[in-house]
Copies of this chain bind each other. A is one copy, B any other.
Amino acid sequence: MEIKTKFWIENRGEVVLGGGKTALLLAIDRLGSIQRAADEFEMSYRHAWGIIKKIEQRAGFKMVETKLGGKDGGGARLTPKAKAFVKKADSLFKELQAMAEKRVRQKFQKRSF
């Protein structure tokens, strides 16, 4: 058996960002496209888009700015505010996870329980 951890951010009781959503937003920024980020996570564009809308609605500010048309069809990237927010959340999640893993390893051997 193994210990699992999860960390996320809520606003007014609603989930804004967890590990998965954070990774998706970072991928959008890295790849410059919602479509390509969705491909990377093997989800539909539709689904990725729905996730973004939900995050924006719950956080209360715009996360992704998009460009329509053009030779490459358009593109997307994080707003500056979103970028700062997401990076801060991502590093916090990783830190908390590392802390928890370390403690579990100290207490038991490996991740076994």
Contact = CB atoms under 8 A, between A and B. Distances in A.
Interface of A: 1-11, 16, 59, 88-89, 92, 95-96, 99-100, 103-104, 107, 113
Nearest to A16: B1
A92 to B, nearest CB: 7
Contacts of A104: 92, 96
Contacts of A96: 3, 5, 100, 103-104
A107 B94 CA distance: 14
Nearest to A96: B100
Given A3-B8, A4-B9, A96-B104, 8 more contacts: A2-B10, A4-B8, A5-B5, A7-B100, A92-B104, A95-B103, A96-B103, A99-B100
B11 A3 contact: no
A13 to B, nearest CB: 9
Contacts of A8: 3-4
